[in-house]
Amino acid sequence: MLCFRTAERKTAVKVFLIAVMVSLPVLSFFAVVLAAAFVEPAQAGIPVYVMMPLDTMNNDGSLNNPDGVKNNLQTLKNTGATGIMVDCWWGIVETSPKSYNFSGYSDLFDIANSVGMKVQAVMSFHKCGGNVGDTCNIPIPNWVTNIAKQGNSDIFYKDQDGNYDDEYLSLFTDTQSLYEGRTGVQLYSDFMSAFAEQFKSELGSLIVEIQVGMGPAGELRYPSYQMAHWQFCGIGAFQCYDSYALQDLASSATAAGHSDWGSAGPNNAGDYNSHPTDTGFFGEDTSQNNYESDYGKFFLNWYSQALISHADRVLKVASNAFSGTGVGLAGKIAGIHWWALAQSRAAEATAGYYVTNGNDGYEQIASVFAKYGANIDFTCLEMLDSEQPSSCACGPQEVVQDVRVAAKAGGTGFSGENALARYDTTAYNTIETEAGQSSSTGGQPMAPLDAFTYLRLSDTLLQSDNLNNFHNFINAMNGI
């Protein structure tokens, strides 16, 4: 039942008494006041959503433990949470080409609706398994990975040693008709159109946001820090060695008048676990063809612009698929905070974020998101610089502000997440403090925090003390 909060009930009573005193028609006026008491007031502050477990769906497409899901969602509802976020796994839904099974998601959305929870649905075109916190194994569809097994591993990103990563299709296949006659972008478009048709009556009401996956872990980035090869706080490795990427690089280098730059990526950029000063490319000597040299600027611009073009292509088809439904769009940017305080910002660079040499790759991304009305979702809002190892030049607080400034300048909205599971008041206070700020430490205006999504629902979160802390956090966010 919807009703006034305490202060609003008191106001209603006062109005009623005044009406009696001035001899208004009491019964009719009382009816007006009573009706008003059942109007839900607009939600104040910042809404908080909760990510569902990665294994919410079984690999056969059914909902995992529906009764448990309903109980957990009711518990979250009681804390004041607005809704949930859930991955809609490509590898579960489209097990054969153009045949889509959303049955488990229909069951989940029915439960969310019955409990009164809104839904953020993630179009998860990536593999689950192999990233930090992954607790399941959901590959991308077998009929897609079979293309690699049958000899064309270039559908996936490759590093300088020829290792390929099967988390997500190479963006350089976006326009290649490699997938039973379809291009990469057509795969994504068809999936989102099928989702929009299946849930057309829920879009814009129950389902309030579609987050469009555009890379590994659902983030717009290259898989530069793969768990199979990388340890924190290595700079990562460039992922531009599949044949389609190399063709694009060669073409761009020739167009720039330097065909000699187009045969490969930098040969002096170290490996996954290098530090910037271990390498020539991310060092400070321009004679080493480093990131500040003409070659370095060309390569970083080409690499980052390819990623931005991927976002443009995928968000365009997402916008078309969900046009007129009233649902919001979003895309995620990774919170790569290590080496963010170093001049080269190497770890961001290998992931595709070009934010050195006076270039603001985050603002360029924000402008593309704005073009399609998509918000930025950004991670690591719970992190403090002081919690990170000083030897890795970490700057999570600075990166959060960089992206919020970019969102404001680029004309799009901003939402946030925590990068790692945290249950302590220090993490919650850090998020609350960031949410309450409207300008960076340098005085630049920042996009406000539109919503926050907590990572993630678990038995640990539901433990008494942790749940109380979470409830207090939601109350604090509602007051901002």
Cα separation, 372 vs 207, in Å, equals: 18
Task: Find the catalytic residue in 167, 202, 219, 292.
Answer: 219
Which residues neighbour 24 within 8 Å (Cβ) at sequence distance 6 or greater? Answer: none
Helix ranges, 116-183 (H)? 142-149
> Residue 205 corresponds to which amino acid?
S
User: Cβ contacts of residue 277 below 8 Å, gap of 6+?
Assistant: 283
Q: Is 393 helix (H, G, I), strand (E, B) or coil?
A: coil
Closest to 435 in 3D by CA, of 421, 445, 450, 413 = 450
Report the relative pairing of strands 164-169 and 156-158 from DSSP bridges: antiparallel
> Is residue 167 flagged as an active site residue?
no
The angle subtended at Cα 337 by Cα 219 and Cα 299, nearest 5°, is 70
Cα–Cα dist 232/131, whole Å: 13
d(Cα 438, Cα 255) in Å, to the nearest integer? 42
CB 120 within 8 Å of CB 208: yes
State the Cα–Cα distance between residues 135 and 139, nearest whole angstrom: 13
Tokens describing residue 104: 């488990």
* 4: number of Cβ within 10 Å: 18
- The answer to whether the CB of 375 falls within 8 A of the CB of 213 is no
Please say whether the beta carbons of 410 and 370 come within 8 A.
Answer: yes
For tokens 């990510």, what's the residue? 51
For 48, the token pair is: 């908080």
- Report the half-sphere exposure of 283 (CA within 13 A, side-chain side): 14
Tell me how crowded residue 260 is: count the other CB atoms within 10 A of its CB. Answer: 8
Active-site residue identified among 94, 209, 348, 417:
417
Percent helix, strand, coil in the chain, to 5, is 45, 15, 45
Q: Which of 341, 340, 320 is nearest to 329 (CA)?
A: 320
Distance between CA atoms of residues 72 and 65, nearest Å: 11
Count, in order, helices (H) and strands (E) of the chain.
14, 10
The C-alpha torsion from 446 through 447 and 449 to 454, rounded to 10°, is: -90
- 432: annotated active-site residue: no
DSSP string for residues in 98-118 = TB---HHHHHHHHHHHHHT-E
Residues tagged active-site: 219, 417
